[in-house]
Amino acid sequence: MEIVADNAAVPEKVQWRGLESIRLPPMSPRLGRNLLARTLAEAWQDGMELGRMAALAWRPGAAVALSNAAGAALAVRQGYPPDLQLEDFDSDVIVGTIGNVAHDRGDDPREPILRSELDEMADEYLAMIKKATALGDDPAATKFLQQSRRRIEQAISMIVRAPLFGRSLWEEWALLKEPDYSMVAALAEHYADFKRDYDVVDVADILAAHVRPCEDCALAVIDQAAIIPPLGFTTLRRMLPRATFVLNT
């Protein structure tokens, strides 16, 4: 069951008990994040252990901001300076991005692929194009390579995104129909080889793999819920099967 809060008024105290999820009304990211933090702090005041809580987001910056907001909310209630993070109060609390937490609770020893490694792969593929076309250094060649680099980045985004939304590569490509599908398919093979050669996994690999469920987690506040792909929500429910979710979109 999902409870959608009335947009006219944010409740003073989020009544999360016994509900599967609560979606906060539209509001500014900061206000929504502060309400998530207050939800954790009030649950803690009501007697819930911090080790039974989770504070998660899709992107790293939002995960850090949520931890800071929750830490400040707890610190104020205990008379501490509001410059602490949530994990400073209890190392057992689940904090971070959904992907990183799922990786930590998984069995795959391979490291997540880094943004810098994706850039390296794009550079490698661009070098292959330049070599195959025997381009020089004239302005026309430079413009062609710049356009090719943008297409490579588009293709990589498609390859990474498709499994997160349960779509085949063809279905993902069909949404925009550019760059040329033959390039996207060829780059997908290169991407698979790159991951194997460097012994890394991407976020879809992590989310689709086994994760150890945290049966004790009773309350999970989730920032950036609007951008979490379907596979991310599926993993959240597998990872936190007994938790009530409070979602900030």
- Taking 70 as the threshold, does the pLDDT of residue 10 lie above it? no
Q: Are residues 62 and 145 in the same domain?
A: no
pLDDT tier for residue 15 given thresholds of 50, 70 and 90: very low
Q: Are residues 158 and 127 in the same domain?
A: yes
Decide which of 185, 203, 221 is a domain's last residue: 203
Distance CA 153, CA 179 (A): 10
Average pLDDT over all residues of the chain: 88
- How is 8-45 classified by DSSP, letter by letter? T---SS---TT-SEEEPPS--HHHHHHHHHHHHHHHHH
- Taking 60 as the threshold, does the pLDDT of residue 6 lie above it? no
User: Both tokens of residue 49?
Assistant: 């252990």
pLDDT tier for residue 138 given thresholds of 50, 70 and 90: confident
Q: Are residues 22 and 84 in the same domain?
A: yes
Q: Which of 118-127, 138-147, 179-188, 219-228 has the lowest mean pLDDT?
A: 138-147
Q: Are residues 217 and 177 in the same domain?
A: no
At 20 the pLDDT is 65
Q: Are residues 191 and 218 in the same domain?
A: no
- Taking 50 as the threshold, does the pLDDT of residue 41 lie above it? yes
- How far is the CA of 205 from the CAs of 155, 191, 218, 223, 241, in angstroms? 18, 13, 26, 22, 20
Q: What is the CATH number of the domain that holds 18?
A: 3.40.50
- What is the tens place of the pLDDT at every residue in 164-196? 999 999 999 999 898 999 999 999 999 999 999
Going by the DSSP 8-state scheme, the letter that residue 137 receives in this structure is S
Distance CA 225, CA 68 (A): 18
- What is the tens place of the pLDDT at every residue in 48-107? 999 999 999 999 999 999 999 999 999 888 878 778 888 888 888 999 999 999 999 999
- Taking 80 as the threshold, does the pLDDT of residue 13 lie above it? no
Q: Are residues 122 and 153 in the same domain?
A: yes
Residue 40 near residue 19 (C-beta atoms within 8 A): no
At 133 the pLDDT is 82
Distance CA 210, CA 242 (A): 17
Q: Are residues 242 and 217 in the same domain?
A: yes
Domain count, the chain: 2
pLDDT tier for residue 215 given thresholds of 50, 70 and 90: very high
Which of residues 230 and 19 earns the better pLDDT score? 230
Domain housing 88: 2-107+210-247
CB neighbour list of residue 149: distance below 8 Å, 6 or more residues apart: 122, 126
Q: Are residues 69 and 184 in the same domain?
A: no
Q: Are residues 124 and 214 in the same domain?
A: no
Q: Are residues 23 and 60 in the same domain?
A: yes
Q: Are residues 53 and 88 in the same domain?
A: yes
Distance CA 7, CA 4 (A): 9
Q: Are residues 141 and 21 in the same domain?
A: no
